A and B are shown apart, each in its own frame.
Chain A
């Protein structure tokens, strides 16, 4: 089973207050930001790794290929994924400003044509842009089935077909898809028994976790020797032509930071109503 996982670097969400808007308000500046793998991509990477390993023996039984689009140092995000266990990476060089969901989907479609993966596993959205578009757009371009917000995935034929559970506001939906297909994930994909691949023993449970697995020192050293191909947009025949024009970015208003202590629930409700005016 071969799974393509696009991984995006985003400004560290724990330090979101460092994000600044350019003087003319049309872009977010990336100076001095600390980068992290988009946490939603990390969930999908974790699910992809679980689909392609024997969870009990840790033997790899499939291939996970990471793709990142960005400047040269975005390779660090790929290395991080390789250290977690992915097999190899592809860096498509581009400056951040010339990208939008449309360009990203085109790039991944072009790579899919070369790599012919069984699954492309996107994060449901990126933690910075929050657009929630690229995965859907890609499935449309490729004319592949799409399952968004997967919370459980199982296969018993090495990835030729999947039974996928989706999380909906009103409950759960179970569907069957044939590969090749596009997935995005919900956080429940990280639950101990959400991924079944027919190789990992049926009674095996992953540890409770709120994100992807942690890289080990051994994994980090191995990652150093794993190949990362570098490509340009031109290599892939993609023109960096955005369909979105960003008109204006605004930072959220500064928080007032004052704390009021109340004595009773009644007083709280009253204050929420009369002072905060949220009720």
Chain B
């Protein structure tokens, strides 16, 4: 049985990130370390016992579209019912809106098990949390009274309807329109695409959070507003709206996307206002849609990070079990004798160690970033700004590293399975397909690179980078005190210095007007920065682990050694590429 996530790692993260201490903050006073652990345990059980057994079937038999309505697989419905009852959607929200005020760090760790069990089913809840949170943060009281309770309980689900056929990463170019209807609502008209969970039979209603342009709004990103557009609109607003009649709201399914992963979660093309009778309600101020959306972005992107970590983790455990069980060949130089398990072959262990280092680092980073989010919102006043700066800086890395390197781990799982891995009878290929989305949705890796280098590291004159440096230097000091192997520490120290130097140089290029020179290698910069941040995570794990004497703890130290020996040396190489390589900057498209 695949454990999905290593419980020992979850427990170690609990200790090394001192998640229990979060209960000492006034915001989380209703909790104690035991409620945190019980929730992780509850999610672990539902992930393993309910969701994971549904994964192969729901991947193989995607939802169907008939007469304009989408039908989910019965196993998805059953799984979602459990996820709903767990209280996943509102877990981190305050009691006043039906939640339990759980720290995001604890929720991130717990929900890793659900995402690992079946990301499509758990994804339905995750999307709803994001949509409801926007209404909670920016909606007027009447909207909150109407939408929040049914969404937080999962009676209604939510979506993010941003992308249009011609406007994906470039949201400033979207054209969906909103016209004041004079009764407090707007008439919405336009087309959206790739809307996950846009229609289905797991809830009574779907609330789309739609980005649209109010008539006469300024061009570009400064003219975009956010609307709540229910698929069916309540006849009357207020706390009992969900119990009253619902009328059609002129939202139509224009098509079901056939996709390679997340296959149990329908992704749709939707059209709004074909009959000019689609009503939306403005969330927050006019033209403030994007900034509002971005305030919620850190949370959504941490969600992608942990989902990617979970997807890689499942593949790692699948490959590990296979490598222990599958006998093939003999040790190098051995003549005759029984065949050995393939884990005895050095290169299989290389692949497994690489996967482990990626998975452990990704999960640790996701929970650590979520913890900064908790401290930024609910920590001691004096620490909030600093936590916020580090959160902002780590978010693009948390969003992209688990997705990009996790994909590599998923590829290795297929490789370890050999010919069987290439067959759909075995689960690694499905996980590989799922993983690919994580470098695309909620801001592609390329967008993350621009966010990190073009915005985050230069913000406040490099204040965030300094704050992160201090945090990593403190971890290095702790590690030295604990006599962690210098071979793990020294390369990190050197690489950290390299990041600082390179950032300064690229910043100067940008300031001098050479934006291509600064940002052209953004993804390389993101990669090298990620390698350093993951090395820091491994160092923290190794520091906590080194006093313990068990195979698991020795494994963590070995991952840290591996990362320091094979990945950190790449930092200097990638930095050099950022400085001098102009091959594709100077490439004329006509040469291709």
Contact = CB atoms under 8 A, between A and B. Distances in A.
Interface stretch (A93-101, A168-176, A208-216, A268-276): A208-216
Interface string A15-28: 00000000000000
Nearest to B50: A214
B78 A259 contact: no
A217 B7 contact: no
A211 B49 contact: yes
B46 A217 contact: no
B552 to A, nearest CB: 10
Nearest to B548: A32
Contact of B34 (A79, A207, A259): A79
Interface in A187-229: 207, 210-211, 214-218, 220-221, 223-224
A217 B42 contact: yes
B82 interface: yes
B327 A259 contact: yes
A30 to B, nearest CB: 16
Contacts of A217: 39, 42, 86-88, 91, 100, 102
B42 A220 contact: yes
Interface string B27-40: 00011101100110
Nearest to B338: A258
A14 interface: yes
A207 B79 CA distance: 11
A14 B48 CA distance: 12
Given A207-B78, A220-B35, A214 B100 contact: no
A214 B45 contact: yes
B215 interface: no
B49 A215 contact: no
A216 B42 contact: yes
Interface in A131-184: none
B325 interface: yes
Nearest to A215: B42
Contact of A214 (B32, B42, B78, B338): B42
Nearest to B95: A221
A3 interface: no
B39 A220 contact: yes
Nearest to A34: B7
B35 A224 contact: yes
B1 interface: yes
Contacts of B88: 217
Interface string B5-35: 0010000000000000000000000111011
Q: By CB atoms of chain A within 10 A, which of B31, B50, B86 has the most?
A: B86
Given A14-B1, A221-B100, A259-B327, A216 B34 contact: no
B49 A259 contact: no
Given A14-B1, A224-B32, A79 B38 contact: yes
A83 interface: yes
B85 interface: yes
Secondary structure class of chain B's binding surface, majority of residues:
helix
Contacts of B34: 76, 79, 224
A162 to B, nearest CB: 29
A186 interface: no
Nearest to A213: B85
B106 to A, nearest CB: 10
Contacts of A32: 550
A29 interface: no
A83 B87 contact: no
A216 B86 contact: yes
Given A14-B1, A207-B78, A220-B35, A214 B87 contact: no
Interface in B108-154: none
A207 B80 CA distance: 13
Contacts of A258: 327, 338
Nearest to A210: B49
Nearest to B45: A214
Contacts of A211: 49
A259 B38 contact: no
A269 B32 CA distance: 57
Contacts of B78: 207
Nearest to B48: A14
Q: Which of A32, A210, A220, A257 has its CB near the most chain B CB atoms (within 10 A)? A: A220
A216 B42 CA distance: 7
Contacts of A220: 35, 38-39, 42
Contact of B100 (A14, A34, A215, A218): A218
Interface in A62-111: 76, 79-80, 83
Given A14-B1, A224-B32, A214 B38 contact: no
A37 to B, nearest CB: 11
A80 to B, nearest CB: 7
Interface in B165-200: none
Contacts of B49: 210-211
Interface string B318-334: 00000001010000000
Contacts of A214: 42, 45-46, 50, 82, 85-86
Contacts of B38: 79-80, 83, 215, 220, 223
Interface string B483-508: 00000000000000000000000000
Contacts of B30: 221, 224
Contacts of A14: 1
Nearest to B1: A14
A35 to B, nearest CB: 11
Nearest to A216: B87
A8 B550 CA distance: 27
Give the one of A34, A76, A217, A220 with max B CB within 10 A: A217
B100 A83 contact: no
Nearest to B110: A217
Interface string B367-407: 00000000000000000000000000000000000000000
Contacts of B338: 258
Given A218-B87, A220-B42, 19 more contacts: A32-B550, A34-B7, A79-B38, A83-B38, A207-B78, A214-B45, A214-B50, A214-B82, A214-B85, A215-B38, A216-B42, A217-B42, A217-B100, A221-B31, A221-B100, A223-B38, A224-B30, A257-B325, A258-B338
21 contacts: A34-B7, A76-B34, A80-B41, A83-B38, A207-B78, A214-B42, A215-B41, A215-B42, A216-B87, A217-B39, A217-B87, A217-B88, A217-B100, A218-B100, A220-B35, A220-B38, A221-B30, A223-B38, A224-B30, A224-B32, A224-B35
The 6 closest A-B pairs by CB, nearest first: A217-B87, A220-B38, A215-B42, A216-B87, A217-B100, A220-B35
